[in-house]
Amino acid sequence: MKSFQIPVFYKSEIISKIKNIRRDKNPRKKDYSPTELDFGTVVFLISRHFGFCYGVENAIEISYKAIEENPGRKIYLLSEMIHNPEVNRDLQERGVEFIMDTAGNKKYDIKKLKQDDIVIIPAFGTTIEIQKELSEKGIEIIKYDTTCPFVEKVWNRASLLGKNGFTIILHGKYNHEETRATFSHSKENAPTLVIRDIEEAKSVRDYILGRIKKTEFLELFKGKYSDNFEPETKLKKIGVVNQTTMLATETEEISNLLKDALTEKYGKENINKHFADTRDTLCYATHDYQRATYALLENSADIAIVIGGYNSSNTTHIVKLCAEKLPTYFISSPKKILSKEAIMHFDINILKEIETKSYIPDKEKVKIILTSGASCPDSMVESVLLRLLSFFENTINTETVIDKLLSGNDITSEH
């Protein structure tokens, strides 16, 4: 896989060693068990997969290259490059201005851009409408386009399916940047319907099987389908694609549900004419991170710390999985760990940052799950680890623990 040039301040010597060891021992990624770091009075279970993914590293490399190559020129990002506040803040401090917020609300009028201005397209991609608006201004949009290759893969598959007469069911959050971009590209070649979750998928199933009326269906999905979407005719042939940061297991569940509905209506022998297999469009990184989280949770632990931007979809899914099993604290940076007695963290149920006291249990040996989303730098994970480690007495030296990993001893946790 390609190696990207990202700023050194996003890297971590400790985390890099751990990742390299796991990569060397298991290059095919078949072992999703976590890495165990036993410091004596505290044990960390580190996820097999976490931190910057391929698409994020690609976006970061291109963004910082744009800054380096264009001194003195105005540089704009269409919106947050990735959902990480520290990364976006650093870009802004280097003079990069954001044109829109994550919801698509404009902070800067594109009409005011000049032909020699630099515009970076974020990893989520952008809509065809915005691409056209930038091109009409004479702005070069290809050189600094950081759209994730796996997002583009979804666009290409949707286009191909549309040309073969299939309607696209897009599993995603309708107002998310990536879903807005994918919807824009998909609807150019195929009728497209956006659904949020398995419950909305059940409504699609019920319409296919004649259980709900057209008026009820259209009202339920108002504003979430393309102009060329007509449910009476366009739900006879479908393919399911997703916002790449959605929970892969839910996308598969939605696909199976709709496939079963079409099988019931048209017969198993005809299903290939009515349902397209799109499993190969699932993002490998999202799949790996979520599989690694499931493997983490097969181990006993006292608490979980998950690091990432609060508006990060893939991180939020990891938080939800962990929270089903044990006390989980979602933080955006090491600064949120106020002390051993208090932590500021984001509650995904009330969508608000709150403070929790006595979050670390008072016991002889504490076990902490530690992981992050795909837009979190390794340096931040290291800082969180060292911050937590500093609260415990009589711990084994960090270098000694890492040397033990390097020596070839078993580094994966036992259930």
User: For residues 167 and 214, what is the distance between their CA atoms, to the nearest angstrom?
Assistant: 17
Those residues whose C-beta lies under 8 Å from the C-beta of residue 127, and which sit 6 or more positions away, are: 180, 181, 183, 184, 185
User: For residues 125 and 97, what is the distance between their CA atoms, to the nearest angstrom?
Assistant: 17
Asked whether 355 and 338 are in contact (CB, 8 A), the reply is yes
Question: Residue 152's CB: how many other CB atoms inside 10 A?
Answer: 16
Helices 313-323, 284-296: crossing angle, 10 deg rounding: 20
Helices 13-25, 378-389: crossing angle, 10 deg rounding: 110
Residues, the chain: 415
**Token duo for residue 376:** 């979190």
**Token duo for residue 29:** 């990624």
Which one from 57, 178, 200, 382 is the annotated catalytic residue? Answer: 178
**Token duo for residue 120:** 């970076």
Q: Is 232 a catalytic residue?
A: no
Q: Where are the alpha helices (DSSP H) in 164-221?
A: 177-186, 198-208, 214-220
User: For residues 183 and 128, what is the distance between their CA atoms, to the nearest angstrom?
Assistant: 10
- E strands in 297-378: 303-307, 328-331, 342-347, 352-357, 366-372
Query: Which positions are catalytic?
Result: 178
